[in-house]
Amino acid sequence: MIFFSFPVLETERFRLRELTKEDAPHLYGYFSDEEVVQYYGLEPFTRKEQAEQFVTQIKSGFRNGMMIRWAIINKETGEFLGTVGYHNWNRQHRRAEIGYELKKEVWRKGIMTEVLKTAIPFGFDRLLLNRIGATVRAENISSRQLLRKFRFSEEGILQEYQCYLGEFYDLLMYGLTRSTYEEKTGQKQC
């Protein structure tokens, strides 16, 4: 599916919209924080240009139909909180991986739970995915609990799959299939 315009999503508290170059300072603010990026697969940003390049890559990935990533905005305050989206999108096999991050100041406030309640159905209903995957470091307990809340299954270990600050780390592979999702929601479709 190719979108003619970027789809904007809404939750009760948040607006999910396209990333813009104006978001680069916010991205730099938390992607330069080692605690935020330690599980992300990126080394901490050291230059503001890296955040601008990140936005450019996301926009290019969307135009090429390879990914979609939203900025998470607090509807009441307009505050930029983080991002969520799909990457490694394979139309033939109807699968993609979901990824997300929040700035540290808003961790553990139920934000990503609320956001995924909208982003996951979008993946199945609008992207027509049959499978949503996620890779997570074992130490990232919060992310693992979040995925389990949405009925993602832990499927195995990807050995030394991620290099961060010169060291290799195993990642756990999680997956959620359409049939499991439909079982939960009562919907059935192909």
Rounded to an integer, the average pLDDT of 72-98 is 97
Contact between 82 and 72 under an 8 Å Cβ cutoff? The reply is yes
Q: How far apart are CA 36 and CA 42, in angstroms?
A: 10
pLDDT digits (tens, 9 = 90+) for 151-187: 999 999 999 998 888 899 999 999 999 999 988 655 5
> pTM of the prediction?
0.92
Residue found by looking up tokens 């299939």 in the block:
177
Contact between 43 and 164 under an 8 Å Cβ cutoff? The reply is yes
Of 123, 48, 109, nearest to 81 by C-alpha is 109
Of 40, 54, 55, 150, nearest to 103 by C-alpha is 40
**What residue segments make up the domains of the chain, in order of their start?**
9-185
CATH of domain 9-185: 3.40.630.30
pLDDT digits (tens, 9 = 90+) for 105-124: 999 999 999 999 999 999 99
Q: What confidence tier does 5 reach under pLDDT thresholds 50, 70, 90?
A: confident
Say if residue 190's pLDDT is above 50.
no
